[in-house]
A and B are shown apart, each in its own frame.
Chain A
Amino acid sequence: MSHYEAPIRTPLILGDKSYQDISNDIAAPIEGKANKWWWSVFIIALIAFLWGIGAIVYTIGTGIGVWGLNNKINWAWDITNFVWWIGIGHAGTLISAVLLLFRQKWRMGINRSAEAMTIFAVFQAGLFPIIHMGRVWNGYWTMPIPNQFGTLWTNFNSPLLWDVFAISTYLSVSVVFWYTGLLPDFAMIRDRATKPFQKKIYNMVSFGWSGTAKDWQRFEEVSLVLAGLATPLVLSVHTIVSFDFATSVIPGWHSTVYPPYFVAGAVFSGFAMVQTLLIIMRKVSNLEDYITRDHIENMNKVILVTGGIVMVAYMSEFFIGWYSGSSYEDFTYLSVGAATGPYWWAFWALILCNGVFPQLLWIKKLRRNFTFSFIMAAIINTGMWFERFDIIVINLSRGHLPSTWTQFSPTFVDIGIFVGTIGFFFVLFLLYARTFPVVAQAEIKSILKSSGDQFKRARDAK
């Protein structure tokens, strides 16, 4: 059997690894003890999470009047955070599904964590529409089920209902995709576990995976078909999120460019979040041999491309807004009015963080630098939050009736819920990093001979 891979491709697994070394490396964070660093971040995240729970309880107990919303700006941080989180989620599916279809082997080092990030981010996203209902106990009204109001069904013409279907499909399919991929890796942990309790737990979660030839054949087919299904799914989800705005008649929202532009923006911000998590994780969990500098560079390249798409969308919106000569277009979120109006700071935060600074990634030295990539990822995540803030708040702050023009200022509850979701996200991710095999080790082993450092060296030396 040939394991040939072009010499021009850099190795994806560094260090002279054997199959057993890979098992040992991936199992190490689970079998070892958490260090002080893990505990301190975990406690900070937990406090933020608890603060968020407090803010959510206060909101539900009192009503959403405790937020900074007003008559004109009736959507603000909640939907901003919702779109931000759901966008972040997109990178995981892109890495695990789209890159699988394109046979990009470098995804194997990072897909597990990226998908975990997807699922945890979609959890956070899902919280916001539910909290925003005010009467959360009526949340089941979004389901098309027979109810006590005669036969009043949900409205299938509404993009908000499309969202319910899109996000629940996305979340559940992502979970299944992730979990099926986890089975062989859980089985590996199970078979080497020495503590009885640990063995019991991993036996249960590994679903009795034994790795027979037929199982693997089905496993690979299922992964491929799920990737094929998840690819249009991930594109559809952010498209439908953009419909929430694009099908409305608010100037600035009513825009046909939204679907592709939202999808590109989602991948852009998602990859930035993957960078943030993985640059830390490779160090903390000693995964430098699996998540290499080349992985970081490849992700930076995706960031550069999607950032470019987003920038082109900004420019076309800005140009068409100006070119139309319509006075309404002069107060949309990409216009001269926005750049010089009361929200100038939000406008420029968007342009600088998403458009200007990421251009530095054209420089090879910078995009191969861990510290720089980490800082850039933080900048992009800030920028993408501002994008959604701008779309929602700037567009709503002006309208057809000038006497209603107003501004939005968040209350401590708005801030508390947002910070709380960040805390919740990190709580989940940190727990995951201690209990799950964070690299898809079975897949990594299958490319060891083609992309492992020592195998490549031996082949090239011939």
Chain B
Amino acid sequence: MSNKVIHAIYDDDDVLLKAIKDVRDANHQIEEVFTPFPVHGLEKAMGIANTRIAITAFIYGLMGLGFAVWMMNYMMIVDWPQNIGGKPSFSYAENMPAFVPIMFELTVFFSAHLMVITFYLRSKIGPFVKAKNPDPRTTSHLFLMEVIVDSDENKLVDLLTNTGAIETKIVEKH
């Protein structure tokens, strides 16, 4: 298979969505689409599966809650029980109302931070990472579709131009 891809540039999100549909209908493989803002319906048009990041957030939240319970049980009940204002210190359950705020805060803390870290890792973004968008205008106002050249490249260029691409460029990808 050739390593050639075509970068087709669009200047309108609705035209882009239509183009994605046409290109996929013509049985071409869209490698990637770069957009300056979240275009609604883009992932559906491209056939991208739903993200599972919200599920991880829920799991991280449970971890935070578990950590909070473990920590406070160890510190306040097991390791050094103290009589504070006559509040019972014999069991976690009896003392729990006073622990609710921190159970909640740590749930949120774990869930939010670990989810965002997961997002950064999965999307491979972070400080010192080099941006992958092939054209600098795609973070501002243009949309770029990267299509794999799998057959006659002139025909593909024609197809893309017909779908409304304002520029097309054939690039050797390594």
Contacts and interface: CB of A to CB of B under 8 A. Distances in A.
Interface string A398-414: 00000000000000000
A216 B42 contact: yes
A248 B169 CA distance: 70
A212 B33 contact: yes
Given A211-B35, A226-B112, A192 B140 contact: yes
B126 to A, nearest CB: 5
A4 interface: no
Contacts of A209: 125, 131, 139
A62 interface: no
Listed residue (A156, A162, A188, A442) with the most chain B CB atoms within 10 angstroms of its CB: A156
Interface stretch (A122-130, A166-174, A271-279, A372-380): A166-174
A121 B148 CA distance: 50
B130 A208 contact: yes
A229 B35 contact: no
Nearest to B52: A221
A224 B84 CA distance: 40
A18 B37 CA distance: 13
Contacts, number: 213
Contacts of A184: 36-37, 139
A236 to B, nearest CB: 6
Listed residue (B17, B99, B111, B140) with the most chain A CB atoms within 10 angstroms of its CB: B140
Interface in B28-85: 32-43, 46, 48, 50-51, 53-54, 57, 61, 71-72, 75-76, 79-80, 82, 84-85
A213 B140 contact: no
A184 to B, nearest CB: 7
Q: How large is the interface on A (under 10, 10 to 19, 20 to 34, 35 or more residues)?
A: 35 or more
A217 interface: yes
B109 A212 contact: no
A33 B140 CA distance: 22
A12 to B, nearest CB: 15
Contacts of B131: 187, 190-191, 203, 206, 208-210
A136 B41 CA distance: 53
Contacts of B130: 203, 208
Interface in A202-230: 203-222, 224-226, 229-230
Interface residues of B, number: 69
Contacts of B115: 222, 225-226
Contact of B139 (A173, A191, A226): A191
B57 A153 contact: no
B79 A18 contact: no
B38 A156 contact: no
B132 to A, nearest CB: 4
Interface of B: 11, 13-14, 17, 32-43, 46, 48, 50-51, 53-54, 57, 61, 71-72, 75-76, 79-80, 82, 84-85, 87, 95, 98-99, 101-102, 104-106, 108-109, 111-113, 115-116, 119-120, 122-133, 136-141
A190 B139 contact: yes
Contacts of A208: 124-126, 128-132
B109 A172 contact: yes
A229 B123 contact: no
A225 B36 contact: no
Contacts of A155: 76, 82, 84
Contact of B108 (A18, A222, A229): A229
A162 B123 contact: no
Listed residue (B113, B123, B124, B132) with the most chain A CB atoms within 10 angstroms of its CB: B123
B117 to A, nearest CB: 9
Sort A-B residue pairs by CB-CB distance and give the 10 closest, nearest first. A208-B129, A191-B136, A19-B141, A153-B75, A210-B133, A20-B141, A445-B37, A210-B132, A442-B37, A23-B140
Contacts of B61: 229
A236 B51 CA distance: 29
A157 interface: yes
Given A155-B84, A188-B139, A226 B116 contact: yes
A233 interface: yes
A260 to B, nearest CB: 16
Contact of A192 (B79, B87, B113, B136): B136
Interface of A: 1, 18-20, 22-23, 144, 151-159, 161-162, 165-166, 169, 172-173, 176-177, 180, 183-184, 187-188, 190-192, 203-222, 224-226, 229-230, 232-233, 236, 240, 243, 441-443, 445-446, 449
A20 to B, nearest CB: 4
B17 A217 contact: no
Contacts of B111: 225, 229
Contacts of B37: 19, 184, 211, 216, 441-443, 445-446
Given A19-B140, A19-B141, A209-B131, A162 B54 contact: no
B112 A446 contact: no
A157 B112 CA distance: 25
Contacts of B36: 19, 23, 184, 188, 211, 442, 445
Contacts of A204: 127-128
Given A151-B80, A445-B36, A222 B139 contact: no
A225 B119 CA distance: 12
